[in-house]
A and B are shown apart, each in its own frame.
Chain A
Amino acid sequence: GAGVSQSPSNKVTEKGKDVELRCDPISGHTALYWYRQSLGQGLEFLIYFQGNSAPDKSGLPSDRFSAERTGGSVSTLTIQRTQQEDSAVYLCASSLARGQGHGYTFGSGTRLTVV
C-alpha cells in the first residue's frame, strides 16, 4: 500500500489478556518505530527496528511488552497480561533509514482500551 498500515484500528480487551498490534510499513522502508500516546500524555518512544533487528528497545515500559519484525517488513507489538495503564494509542512509523534526512510516515494508530 501507499502508506503505513496498522491493525486493528481499535481494540478493547480485558485486563490480563494478551494483545497483538500489527504494523505494515511502506515497502522498502528499513527503519520502523513504535510509539504510544497515553491519555493526556505526549508521544512516547517504545522501540526502533532497523531491518529485522531492534538496536533500540529502551522505550519498552516493561517485560510484558515485546516486538518483532520479520522479513524486514511487518512488525508485531505484543503486550502480555494487559493492564489498564496500557490503554493508549499505539503508533507505528517507518522511514527509508534512520536520520534527519529521511522523513517519517506514520500509520493512523491502534487505539487500545483495557477494561
Chain B
Amino acid sequence: KNEVEQSPQNLTAQEGEFITINCSYSVGISALHWLQQHPGGGIVSLFMLSSGKKKHGRLIATINIQEKHSSLHITASHPRDSAVYICAVTSNQFYFGTGTSLTVIP
C-alpha cells in the first residue's frame, strides 16, 4: 500500500469546470505539498500546507489533518491548467503520490 494515494489518476474536463483532485495519506506528516508537472517537464511547487486552506489565484488547497486528506481545487479551469498534479507529504522522508493527469479541453 502506498503511503500517499491520489485520485483520480486521469481527469478530463471542459474549460470552465470546477476541478477537484484528492490526496489521502497514511503517515504522520509535518507538511503536505501539491506539485505541478508542467507539459514542458519541469515540476513546480504549488502549495505547502500543514493545516487549513491556502488560495493562489484559481487554485485552492485544503487539508484535514484528522482525516489525513487533502484536496486541490481548480476553479474556472483553463487548457493551460493541463498538467500532472502530484501530492507529496513530508514525514521522516518524502512520500509521493503517483500523480493525477489533468487535461482541460477548450
Instruction: Say if A and B assemble together.
Output: yes
- Residue ranges of A at the interface with B (Cβ–Cβ < 8 Å): 9, 31, 33, 35, 37, 40-45, 48, 89, 91, 93, 95, 98-100, 102-104, 106, 108-109
Contact A33 B43 (CB under 8 A): yes
Contact A98 B41 (CB under 8 A): yes
Number of contacting residues on B, CB 8 A? 26
- Summed over the interface, the residue pairs from A and B with CB atoms below 8 Å come to a total of 57
Binds A, one of B10-18, B62-70, B72-80, B94-102: B94-102
- Residue ranges of B at the interface with A (Cβ–Cβ < 8 Å): 33, 35, 37-48, 83-84, 86, 88, 90, 93-96, 98-99, 101
Residues from chain B with a CB closer than 8 A to the CB of A33 are 43
User: Which of B37, B46, B90 lies in contact with A104, CB distance below 8 A?
Assistant: B37
CA distance A9 to B91 in the complex (A): 13
- 23 A-B pairs (CB sep. < 8 Å): A31-B41, A33-B43, A37-B90, A40-B48, A41-B48, A42-B46, A43-B44, A45-B44, A48-B42, A89-B90, A91-B94, A95-B41, A98-B40, A98-B41, A100-B37, A100-B40, A100-B41, A100-B83, A103-B84, A103-B99, A104-B37, A104-B43, A109-B94
